[in-house]
Amino acid sequence: DAGVTQSPTHLIKTRGQQVTLRCSPKSGHDTVSWYQQALGQGPQFIFQYYEEEERQRGNFPDRFSGHQFPNYSSELNVNALLLGDSALYLCASSLWGLSGAMNEQFFGPGTRLTVL
Amino acid sequence: DAKTTQPNSMESNEEEPVHLPCNHSTISGTDYIHWYRQLPSQGPEYVIHGLTSNVNNRMASLAIAEDRKSSTLILHRATLRDAAVYYCILAYGGATNKLIFGTGTLLAVQP
């Protein structure tokens, strides 16, 4: 059973460019959450998708957008990249409908984005 | 958002028990206490969670104070593979389950 997969593993972009990161959830999961982890910090919640809709959003600007496809996979898009967007981007999958407090999230290995 | 406070770092010797503390004085009655850990170069992984009672699983034990304002993750016999950042998180109820991570505790395990 494949766990959460993310692509690409590493990515280098320059300021002002746009980037798309991809995530496939664990088999059987229908909810995808995205997190940004700066060096030396804990992950910060960006947003969460279920049924192809953004259900909850953290404190991130509109430059960060996402999409969920009918097969539950998801994309994270970041426009007009800034140096401060350099980070590890983590995708986590879970099941919608269970009590959130009971609902374990499974994380992928992340995509390391470097903005020059 | 209710917050947690953890020591920045701790050290342990291999095969000895480790007690990782967490304070969460603003916890609400419906918040569950979750622990995740992040091994080097990996995404976080679930360790354990609880509400009021102490919990045990194959990875660890979770001891929750009677007033729920603090908890302790217990690794019964630390191994080198347990070296990681451990995050104590208050998880919210409802269908959405975003996790609010702090900076965690970096656990070093000495052979």
Interval A66-87: pLDDT, tens: 999 999 999 999 999 999 999 9
Question: How high is the pLDDT of residue A102?
Answer: 66
Q: Given pLDDT bands bounded at 50, 70 and 90, which one contains residue A100?
A: low
Question: What does the pLDDT look like over A6-28, one tens digit per residue?
Answer: 999 999 999 999 999 999 999 99
Contact A107, A91 (CB under 8 A): yes
B9 touches chain A (CB under 8 A): no
Q: Given pLDDT bands bounded at 50, 70 and 90, which one contains residue B46?
A: very high
Question: How high is the pLDDT of residue A101?
Answer: 61
**Where does residue A36 rank: exposed (0-12), middle (13-18), buried (19+ CB within 10 A)?**
buried
A108 vs A104: which has the higher pLDDT: A108
What's the mean pLDDT when you consider all of chain B?
91
Look-up of token digits 């986590």: A92
Q: List all residues 6 or more positions away from B74 whose beta carbon is below 8 Å from its beta carbon.
A: B17, B18, B19, B20, B60, B61, B62, B63
Contact B22, B37 (CB under 8 A): no
Question: How high is the pLDDT of residue B93?
Answer: 58
Percentage of chain B exceeding pLDDT 90: 69
d(Cα B102, Cα B23) in Å, to the nearest integer?
A: 12
Residue B95 has pLDDT above 60, yes or no: no
Q: List all residues 6 or more positions away from B39 whose beta carbon is below 8 Å from its beta carbon.
A: B45, B81, B83, B84
Contact between A101 and B31 using a beta-carbon 8 Å cutoff: yes
Of B49, B87, B91, the CB nearest to A42: B87
Residue A94 has pLDDT above 80, yes or no: yes
Q: What angle do CA A50, A55, A58 make, to 5 degrees?
A: 125
d(Cα A74, Cα A33) in Å, to the nearest integer?
A: 9
Sign of the Cα pseudo-torsion (A20, A110, B99, A61, in order): negative
Q: What is the mean pLDDT of residues A36-46?
A: 94
Q: What is the mean pLDDT of residues B42-47?
A: 94
The radius of gyration of chain B from alpha carbons, rounded to an integer in Å, stands at 13
Question: How high is the pLDDT of residue A97?
Answer: 73
Both tokens of B98, joined, read 């975003």
> Which of chain A's residues have a Cβ under 8 Å away from the Cβ of B94?
99-100
Question: How high is the pLDDT of residue B73?
Answer: 98
Q: What is the mean pLDDT of residues A31-55?
A: 94
Of A40, A56, A102, the CB nearest to B32: A102
Task: State in Å, rounded, how far the first CA of chain B is from the last one.
Answer: 39
Q: What is the mean pLDDT of residues A34-54?
A: 94
d(Cα A39, Cα A37) in Å, to the nearest integer?
A: 6
B50 touches chain A (CB under 8 A): no
Of B34, B44, B104, the CB nearest to A107: B44
Contact A34, A43 (CB under 8 A): no
Written as one letter, the residue type at A76 is: L
